[in-house]
Each structure stands twice: as structure tokens, then as C-alpha cells.
Structure 1
Amino acid sequence: METNLTYEAAYKELTEIAQEIENESVSVDVLADKVKRASELIEFCQTKLRATETEVNKIIKQMENQ
């Protein structure tokens, strides 16, 4: 996974892959690669969301303790 990938870019790419698969515009020859990439993007997005949630909760707790 690219180190400079943003959540927004990953989500956009994931959405495009999903649309291609739903529209059946993906050839059988590349379907497995698309599904693998989608899996990687989902994992990236989930990790990013968890990290953001943890950071926001940490900030909220710091604010409550002031």
C-alpha cells in the first residue's frame, strides 16, 4: 500500500472498483486483482478510521480533564 495514500483517495478508488464490479465492466482476467485491491483498500480505510477514532477520543479525554 502506498505510504502517501489518503483516506479520501482510498475510498474513491474503492468506490470506483465497486462500481466496475457492479456494472460488470471488469473482465474475468482482472477480477481477482480488483477484489484483492479492494480488500487492501478496505483494510487501509478501517485502520485509518480506527486510528482517527482513537486520536479523537484521546483529545476529548484531555479536554474533559482540564
Structure 2
Amino acid sequence: MTENIDYTSANAELQEIVSEMENSEISIDELDIKIKRASELLKICKDKLFKTEKNVQEVLEEIRNYSIGNAK
């Protein structure tokens, strides 16, 4: 089940986890939990980017079809 979180929040949380890992601020005990959470956040971001790209492509196709239809 995908969590109801917006892209900006998911990306910000993901960046925070990455920063903690880079700065060795995560204990070994927390690492497993953080890695799983990062994986969830990556999936959320990827899904939202895919849906946005699909929507943009649909709009561009509609504009293209409209332009072709009016050119006749």
C-alpha cells in the first residue's frame, strides 16, 4: 500500500535519510529501518514522477491532436 504523502515531503525525508547516512548519524540498529523507509520513499517518488510524466504526455498529445484537427 502506497502512503499518502506528496512528492516534496517524500523527497525531503529521503534527502534527510541520505544526509544522516553520509554523516554517519545512523546507528547500525537504525540502519535497517532507515533503508526500508528510504526504499518506500523512493517508490513513492518514482510513482509520482511516472504519473506526472504520463499526464504531461497525455496533455501534449491532446494539444497535438487539437492542433492537427484545426489545421484542416
Q: TM-score, normalised by structure 2?
A: 0.87
In structure 2, the residue matched to 1:27 is: 27
1:6 partnered with 2:2: no
**Structure 2 spans left out of the alignment, 5+ residues:** 67-72
**Structure 1 spans left out of the alignment, 5+ residues:** none
Q: CA offsets, 1:11-46, max 9 Å, x none?
A: 000000000001000011111000000000001100
CA–CA separation in structure 1 for the residues paired with 2:65 and 2:45: 30
In structure 1, the residue matched to 2:38 is: 38
Q: The residue matched to 1:26 in structure 2 has which SS?
A: coil
Q: Is the contact made by 2:3 and 2:44 (CA closer than 8 Å) also made in structure 1?
A: no
Percent of counterpart pairs with the same letter?
42
Structure 1 runs of 4+ aligned residues shifted over 6 Å read none
CA–CA separation in structure 2 for the residues paired with 1:61 and 1:2: 30
**Cα distance, 1:2 vs. partner?**
2.9
